[in-house]
Amino acid sequence: MLPHVVVPSILAAFLIPEWHLSGAQAGLLAGSGAAGYMLTVPVLATLTDRIDARKILIAGSAVSALGTLLFGAFATGLWSGALFNAIAGIGFAGAYMPGLKALTDRLAPGDSSRAITLYTSSFSFGVGMSFLVSQLVAEAWGWRTAFFVTAAGPLVMLTVCFLLQPVEPKPASGRLLDFGPVFHNRKAMGFVLGYGAHCFELYGIRTWIVAFWTFVVARNSDASILTPVVVSVVFSLLAMPASILGNEFALRFGRHRAITAVMLASAAVALLIGFFADKSPWLLLPLILIYAITVPADSGALTSGMSMAADPSHRGATMAMHSTVGFSLSALGAWALGVALDATGGPQSASAWMAAFSVLAAGILLGPLALMWSRKETRQS
């Protein structure tokens, strides 16, 4: 996870001014990693139904490191940066969902909800470390060095991969990219579509959190300790306990009910942040911290719900669909916020941030609709 948000981490302070990027271009650059992921994860995750996911995890970790190194060494503008970031995203497609499949293949039979939630919440801890390392290294030694340092993360993962015991999946039948059974699984598709709404919001705010807090700090001289580094790292680290607690909430009160409550709360908090965007950071900070909890609190419940609703013989394909939808909307979220900022005055305008957070709220409100559709279809069937 170490290279995962190095591009969003350095956008506002380095890449936007050096490469003269508009908001839409910056969103496109940040979303290119998710785009590379989206294009390749259907094949790579589905392959885990046929070969040991550990083998794909090894290849994915190597390609992730390669794309990160290429960006640091050779990126000179929007399109070269987008290409190398997409390569890193392709590598991540061979790491995240195949990693989850490698985990579930090695778990004892039974309810794997908590193990899956721990895995998905560790994603957020990795993002927090990525924000921290990327920004500190870029400020001390330049933004290119941040890519060289963070590329070490996937290389360390290779060692872990080789230590895993091989586990061959049961023989699969049918075509490799046969998603028909996944589409017909209404219960699983509700979680998949809900995850898409979650990813739109999550990647949108992760891409622009540093730029937003840079805007907040620039307007206030009484927030010297609340730097973009501190806020972005704390925002990401809170996601890990939030995701775990969200899943526990779902186990206690019902998965659909808990996820819907979290998504509605998240939309409300996003609108409040946008409304108070030009106010004191001491007013905004509690809202940001609440948002740091509501944004990821549905993640573990959605992913574990998908995994448990999936047909065991098509679990890899279901995970592939889950990731494809999620990261497609991740790329869209990063770009959509950039477009909203451009259209309403730019990142130096409070009204533009109101528009951006309104886009986030609208995106996450699609999640409860997907769950309602899924529940209705499941009852009818």
**Lookup result for tokens 């060692």:** 159
Q: What is the DSSP letter of 127?
A: H
| Residue 280 is assigned to a structural domain of this protein | yes
Higher pLDDT, 102 or 201: 201
For residue 371, is pLDDT > 50?
A: yes
The pLDDT assigned to 375 comes to 81
- Identify whether 174 is part of a domain: no
pLDDT at 166 over 50: yes
Min mean pLDDT across 14-23, 110-119, 341-350 is at 110-119
Give the largest CA-CA distance in the chain. Answer: 63
> What would the mean pLDDT of 60-75 be, rounded to a whole number?
97
CA distance 297 to 240: 9
176 occurs within a structural domain: no
What percentage of the chain exceeds 90 in pLDDT? Answer: 60
Q: Which two tokens stand for residue 82?
A: 């987008």
Kindly tell me if the per-residue pLDDT of 111 is higher than 80.
no
Q: Is residue 178 part of a domain?
A: no
Res. 239 pLDDT band, cuts 50 70 90? confident
21-51 tens-digit pLDDT: 999 999 999 999 999 998 898 888 888 888 8
Assign 262 a pLDDT band (cuts: 50, 70, 90).
very high
What pLDDT is attached to residue 381? 47
Q: How many domains in the chain?
A: 1
Average pLDDT value for residue range 209-220: 91
Contacts of 77-80 spanning 24+ positions with Cβ under 8 A? 77/19, 78/19, 78/21, 78/25, 78/28, 78/29
Mean pLDDT on 247-251: 86
As to burial, measured by CB atoms within 10 angstroms (0-12 exposed, 13-18 middle, 19+ buried), residue 159 is: exposed
Model pTM score: 0.84
What average pLDDT does range 305-309 have in this prediction? 87
Q: Is the confidence at residue 378, as pLDDT, over 60?
A: no
Is 175 inside a domain boundary? no
Assess if residue 1 is contained within a domain: no
Per this entry, what is the length of the chain? Answer: 381
Residue 247 scores a pLDDT above 90: no
Question: CA-to-CA distance for 187 and 362, rounded, in angstroms?
Answer: 23
Kindly state whether residue 171 falls inside one of the protein's structural domains.
no
The reported pLDDT for the residue numbered 6 is 96
CATH of the domain at 56: 1.20.1250.20
pLDDT in tens, 267-280: 999 999 999 999 98
- pLDDT given at position 261: 96
What domain range includes position 358? 6-166+183-380
Q: Categorize the per-residue pLDDT at 176 as very low, low, confident or very high, splitting at 50, 70 and 90.
A: low
Q: Residue 171 — pLDDT band, cuts 50, 70, 90?
A: low
- Per-residue pLDDT at 156 exceeds 80: yes
Q: What is the pLDDT of residue 106?
A: 81
Q: Can you give the pLDDT at residue 101?
A: 84
Termini Cα distance of the chain: 40
The SS3 assignment for 311 reads coil
Q: Is the pLDDT of residue 377 over 60?
A: no
Average pLDDT in the 230-244 region?
88
- Spatial contact of 353 and 277, defined as CB atoms under 8 Å apart: yes
Q: DSSP states of 343-368 as a string?
A: HTT-TT-HHHHHHHHHHHHHHHTHHH
Tokens for 283?
Answer: 């007013």
- What pLDDT digit, counting tens, does each position of 129-143 carry? 999 999 999 999 999
More confident call, 381 vs 296: 296
Average model confidence (pLDDT) across the chain: 90
Q: What's the Cα-to-Cα distance from 190 to each of 109, 250, 325, rounded to whole Å?
A: 24, 15, 12
